[in-house]
Structure 1
Amino acid sequence: MTQNRKKKIGIVIAVLLVLSVVFTGFNRDEKLFQIDKNLDIYYTLIRELNLFYVDDINPTDLVKTSIDKMLESLDPYTNFIPESDMEDFRFMTTGEYAGIGALISKHGDQVIIAEPYEGFPAQKSGLRAGDILLEVAGKSTEKMSTEDVSNLLKGPANQAVKVKIQRPGDKKSFDVEIIREKIQIDAVPYYGMLDNETGYIRLSNFTTNCGDEVNKIFTELKEQKGAKSLILDLRSNPGGLLMEAVKIVNIFVPKGEEVVSTRGKVKQWDKIYTATENPVDTVMPIAVLVNRGSASASEIVAGALQDLDRAVVIGTRTFGKGLVQTTRELSYNAKLKVTTAKYYIPSGRCIQALDYTNRNEDGSVGAVPDSLISEFNTKKGRKVYDGGGIVPDVKIDLDRISSLSIHLIRNFMYFDFATQYTYSNKSIPSPEEFEITDEILSSFSAFLKEKEFTYESETEQLFNELLETAKEEKYYDVAQSQFEALKEKIGHELDKDLEQFEDEVKEMLTDEIVTRYYYQKGAIRSAIKTDKGIEKAKEVLASPATFSAVFTPGTIISMNNTKKPGLESRVSDDVIWYNN
């Protein structure tokens, strides 16, 4: 190549570089102009609304609504946090807040104590599940939302808040002064030995220092209790702090092993998180229980242990939340929680559900089209897939909760019966020994009839809609006998349904009643004895051949049955619990 030709090529490259910089700057300037232009339009729009709209407007509410809708169009996790919500945000990340230590909920027109936490101010002050909150801090709760009452109950630690209480069925009310405390919700509500060899840890969230707590508990189970295997229960764990997930995986994998990585638009923020400490144990058989309520940090732990062939994952496909949020400071003490990256576990797959359109009602992963699924390999060469969430090694089909129980939960029938039961019975046997007898079941049936409880199943609702449509379109008269016969077949009677779903009703009642006497730990202890997910985990761990087969490429293990979803979470569609 001649010197002259080299010179010309150099000039062309230089021109291209200059044009690249110019156009990059142009694109950046154009985008900034568009932002400034639209913000100006937005400002003038709000101003004109404030001046000329027929009714008074609340600018704060209007702007908050527009911000929420704007961010909602991006993804479910990019959120605006105004100063007024900062306390709740801190609780979500630390598990700590100042309050009375109780769950509250709306029961009809009344706000009630749904569950006092053991050892915290509400319980120590004598408040009980079912108590009606008539007043808080001198203000009537009659027309308040649950959130409004929750805000009144929270406040500075070591300061008193006065509440006026009424017990169910009692016309008299009384005042209770409760000293607020810093409430730290335990990330591990229960742990122990299930038998002579199997340890169990229930992790409910990933808050500050939970990794150290799990490390300490696991060491105790292994060295003092003689655990030869472990079940780590992450069902319905919504996640939390990324570093705590890394710490927990580090307990079981060698130092230096990759646990998770994050990748996003700002490349200098991309990071690989590895195990930084010496592990406690790298060989003990481990089973991780998950369900579709297991999200974010839970999926990192389950997915990393699966990719590294360190644990068998048992349950149902997890939630599919693999987006990383970073908080950015805004003016007036507000914050923006913005998605900045995605999680990638050791095999290279992303946890995040790739399709936002196919979701279950609770937001978890729905049907994933084959076109969106890619294949990856674990450390030992097993095939694993992305598309959303973690697919368990041992799949357990979920039993659907009956329409009867759904309506009993929504109408607080289980809850109200348990409240009545506790007033008639000062104590019950231990959580492991307590059972719903035929006498208790008969009392519950009588209670439902006394409350005139009725319900219409989803099938009946759809049938009645069909019936109305058939009458409107003149088809009913043509097939009246068939319609009447079908109505007879799908109709229900309360006594018949209570008998048909007796096992489910007993489980629900047991959970509700045991919680009143032994609180959350007691409810977990009681549920363990009939928990089919735990039973399957114990089966796999008890058989070295079955456990080893899980990590052999090409092997598929499928086991049916699991604990009913109603017992995995005490929250129904129409009931919102608030921590206070």
Structure 2
Amino acid sequence: MMRKSEYAVWTLLLLAVIGAGSAMVSVAKSESASAANSEIYQQLDLFGEVLERVRADYVEKPEDKELIESAINGMLTGLDPHSSYLNPEHFRDMQVQTRGEFGGLGIEVTMENGVVKVVSPIDDTPAERAGILANDLITHLDGKEIQGLTLQEAVEKMRGPVNSPIELTVIREGEDAPFKVKITRDIIHINPVKYSAEDDVGYIRITTFNEQTTPNLQKAVKDLEEEIGPDKLKGWVIDLRNNPGGLLDQAISVSDSFLNKGAIVLTRGRNQEESQRSNARDGDIVDGKPIIVLINGGSASASEIVAGALQDHKRATTIGTRSFGKGSVQTIIPLGDGALRLTTARYYTPSGRSIQAKGIEPDLVVEEELPDDLKKKAEAAGTRGEADLRGHLRNEGDEEADDEASGSSAYVPKDKSKDTQLIYALDILRGKKTVEAELKKQADAKQAKAKQAQAKSTEAE
């Protein structure tokens, strides 16, 4: 059993944290603060007693570090789904993702039957130069079997210091036996922007918002303008479907790239003085050419900021289905070797809309047709958005939970010739359809549906 002196150390450590926060309370509120702190101290006593019992009596000896991390995470996840504690390992992973570069091999991978399957090698990387191909199966790393590792564990072993070697054992269809490939790690850049010329339209897909997003967007625009030609170029499709978000400053920068003036996003914390407004600077990198933004149920957070800003300024027409509805801002606060990810603000579109647990409703709703094999799965699983997450922040403007609605299908066909939303966007940019006519058509269909529902209700009565 824990000695009283040990128990006192745990409690004092926790009280020190509370005390540090209490020191910032103004003198004018000292009495109420004192009462509040007294209650907190009582709760911390309870925490200390539980901790003592677990350490002394649990059926297996627990790790103190894991107990405290779990307690911290329990506190944070009880606030909302996006607040959490990042231990040193997870903090490093997050930094890699936001930087968009790391020491590694340069392959996109998944896990299949206990081994790593190559989805595709990234162009001009060590893996591509070594001849690694899509659908290769990696069974061993430096002679050690992958079987039993998670995908994340396998990826971590493949990453490492630049110029360090690694040996992969590969199984390839058509080869009689596994073979070994030696690769030297190099700096790998995660390209969050993919683009192509769709004849007379520039197509740009933004997959995430990391530190590489804005410069890569600018490069994509320049390359496509040169490839298509300014006289032939009819407009742009910015595809934000299934983009989960990322860095707030990159969302602001991407929005600014297409705007000449006005607000981009408003963020409001608990206190009025924490409110901030980000404004666009003069300089539209596509010189006013028409823009269509594609969104769906997988478009969240930073991608919703971009879609909302361009929609509110009528700089772009949004097409697709309702976005995820994550309208909160998380601040990363380093703590030792780890970090605290804490929800510190809500964000609002330029017109003052909060999309928290509501999402962005596109100007033109266009559903993707799911293949037959996916329809039953989709019907069983349903769609999930922010409003479906347990403990999500409420939308401030809503009194009733029924008013909340976010999320939609996140299906996007790999074959562009079957991509209904993309084809629809291209038709509008090429003048085969007009936004005005399509809006009227959808409004008429909605009205007819409402009348039909009302008629059925009357018959039932």
TM-score under structure 1 length normalisation: 0.61
| Unaligned stretches of 5+ residues in structure 1 | 1-19, 354-387, 408-456, 460-506, 512-526, 560-580
Q: Over residues 194-226 of structure 1, what are the superposed CA-to-partner deviations in whole Å (9 max), with x where a residue is unaligned? A: 223x22211111111422332343345447622
Cα pair 2:85 2:341 within 8 Å, conserved? yes
Partner of residue 341, structure 1: 345
Equivalences for residues 42-81 of structure 1 within 5 A: 42-81=47-86
Name 1:542's counterpart in structure 2.
Answer: 430
| Match in the other structure for 1:204 | 207
Partner of 2:89: 84
Question: Using the alignment, how far apart are the partners of 1:287 and 1:65 within structure 2?
Answer: 44
Q: Determine the structure 2 residue equivalent to 1:122.
A: 127
- Give the 5 Å matches for 1:28-39: 28-39=33-44
1:61–1:532 distance in 2 versus 1, CA, 3 Å: same
2:365 maps to 395
Q: Is the Cα contact below 8 Å between 1:188 and 1:203 reproduced in 2?
A: yes
CA deviation map 1:9-56 (0-9, x unaligned): xxxxxxxxxxx9777323323333444443443344334322322223
Using a 3 Å threshold, how does the CA distance of structure 1 residues 549 and 36 change in structure 2: closer, same or farther? Answer: farther
Distance 1:171 1:51, change over 3 A: farther
**1:107–1:212 Cα change, 3 Å:** closer
Distance (Å, rounded) in 2 between the aligned partners of 1:557 and 1:88 = 49
- Aligned with 2:265 (options 246, 257, 260): 260
The residue type equivalent to 1:214 in the other structure is L
C-alpha distance in 2, partners of 1:185/1:248?
A: 17
- Higher relative contact order structure (alpha carbons within 8 Å, sequence separation ≥ 6): 1
Question: Cα–Cα, structure 1 residues 109 and 344, in superposed 2: closer, same or farther, change >3 Å?
Answer: same
Q: Tell me if 1:185 matches 2:155.
A: no
Partners of 1:229 and 1:557 in 2: CA distance? 28
1:218 aligns with 2:221: yes
1:228 corresponding residue in structure 2 = 234
- Structure 1 counterpart SS, 2:193: coil
1:396, 1:558 within 8 Å by CA — same for their partners in 2?
no
5 Å matches for 1:94-105? Answer: 94-105=99-110
Cα distance in 1 for partners of 2:300, 2:380 equals 29
Aligned to 1:524: none
Residue of structure 1 in register with 2:321 after alignment? 316
State the distance in 1 between where 2:176 and 2:72 align: 46
CA distance in 1, matches of 2:71, 2:226: 56
Moved more, 87-96 or 209-218: 209-218
| Secondary structure of residue in 2 paired with 1:189 | strand
Cα separation, partners in 2 of 1:323 and 1:558, compared to 1, 3 Å = farther
Distance in 2 of aligned mates of 1:322 and 1:404: 29
Whole-Å Cα distance in 2 between the matches of residues 109 and 276 of structure 1?
Answer: 50
**289, 304, 308: which is aligned to 1:303?**
308
Percent identity reads 32
In structure 2, give the amino acid aligned to 1:390. I
Aligned equivalents of 2:219, 2:445: Cα separation in 1: 33
**Amino acid in the other structure paired with 1:538:** L
1:426 alignment partner in structure 2: none
> What is residue 278 of structure 1 aligned with on the other side?
283
Which amino acid is the alignment partner of residue 217 of structure 2?
A: V
* AA of the residue aligned to 1:175: K
User: How far does residue 89 in structure 1 lie from its aligned partner after superposition?
Assistant: 0.4
Offset at 1:263? 0.2
Q: What is residue 370 of structure 1 aligned with on the other side?
A: none
Q: CA deviation at 1:170?
A: 5.8
Partner Cα distance (2:443, 2:316) in 1 = 15
Does residue 146 of structure 1 match 2:34?
Answer: no
Residue type matched to 1:86 in 2?
A: F
* Amino acid in the other structure paired with 2:234: K
Q: Equivalent residue for 1:24?
A: 29
- What is the CA-CA distance between 1:288 and the residue it aligns to? 0.7
* Alpha-carbon displacement from aligned partner over 1:520-552 (angstroms, at most 9, x marks no partner): xxxxxxx33332211111222233982356799
Q: Which residue of 2 aligns with 1:161?
A: 166
Alpha-carbon shift at residue 180 of structure 1 (Å): 1.3
Tell me, yes or no, if the aligned pair for 1:87 and 1:97 is still in contact at 8 Å.
no
Deviations 1:474-498 (A, max 9, x none): xxxxxxxxxxxxxxxxxxxxxxxxx
Q: Which residue of 1 aligns with 2:253?
A: 247
Alpha-carbon separation, structure 1, partners of 2:142 and 2:65: 26
> How far off is 1:406 after superposition?
8.3
Shift of 1:293: 0.8
How many residue pairs get aligned? The number is 388
Q: Does the C-alpha gap of structure 1 residues 94 and 551 become closer, same or farther in structure 2, counting only changes over 3 Å?
A: farther
Change (3 A) 1:558 1:113: farther
Contact 2:110–2:151 (Cα < 8 Å) also in 1: yes
The answer as to 2:429 corresponding to 1:529 is no
Give the distance between the partners of 1:121 and 1:558, measured in 2 at CA. Answer: 54
Rounded to whole Å, the distance in 1 between the matches of 2:428 and 2:162 is 47
TM-superposed CA distance for 1:124, in Å, is 2.0
> What whole-Å deviation, never above 9, does each CA across 1:146-194 have from its counterpart, x for those lacking one?
22212211111221122233335867333322211221111212232x2
Q: Decide whether aligned partners of structure 1 residues 155 and 29 sit closer, same or farther in structure 2, where only a CA change above 3 A counts.
A: farther
CA deviation profile, 1:253-272 (whole Å, cap 9, x unmatched) = 223x1111100114433210
Give distance in 2, aligned partners of 1:229 and 1:38: 60
Q: Aligned partners of 2:209 and 2:203: how far apart in 1?
A: 17
- Do the aligned partners of residues 160 and 557 (structure 1) sit closer, same or farther apart at CA in structure 2, a change above 3 Å counting? farther
Unaligned runs of 5+ in 2: 1-24, 382-411, 447-461
Give, as a single letter, the amino acid of the residue that structure 2 aligns with 1:542.
R
* Alpha-carbon separation, structure 1, partners of 2:119 and 2:258: 37
